[in-house]
Amino acid sequence: MPHALFRHPRGAQVDSALAVKVCGPSRRKAAGEQVAAPRLSDKLTVDQVCAELGIAKSSFYDWRQKGRAPRCIRLPNGALRIRRSDLENWLADCEDRT
């Protein structure tokens, strides 16, 4: 069975098999399928983490420099985010050390 051609948004015709190979499967949802939106609360800002821990931002950055802070994600704009799960795991590890 020949692959269907579809028109790329920039006007070129593209073979559907090649598009799947290069771009991955379509992310469109099927009829009736629910697509879960990423939850913003899963990732915290440094300010939110500091407020939750009751510490100054300078303390957080000191811990980070010394390798004692929870694992962080650096965004393309340079901002840091901390996954809620990483923070909870880090807190559990801190409890275990005491």
Q: What is the pLDDT of residue 82?
A: 97
Residue 3 tokens read as: 């692959």
Is 80 in contact with 86 (CB distance < 8 Å)? no
Number of domains in the chain: 1
User: Crossing angle of helices 57-66/46-53, nearest 10°?
Assistant: 100
Q: What is the pLDDT of residue 96?
A: 79
Beta-ladder partners of 74: 80
Answer whether residue 69 is part of any domain. Answer: yes
Residue 85 has pLDDT above 70, yes or no: yes
CATH code, 88:
1.10.1660.10
Q: What is the domain range of residue 89?
A: 40-97
95 or 71, which is more confident: 71
If pLDDT is split at 50, 70 and 90, which confidence band does 9 have?
A: low
Place of tokens 């393309």: 76
Closest CA to 86 of 75, 77, 73, 95: 73
97 or 90, which is more confident: 90
CA–centroid distance for 39 within its chain:
10
Helix (H) or strand (E) holding 93: helix 84-97
- Average pLDDT (37-60) is 88
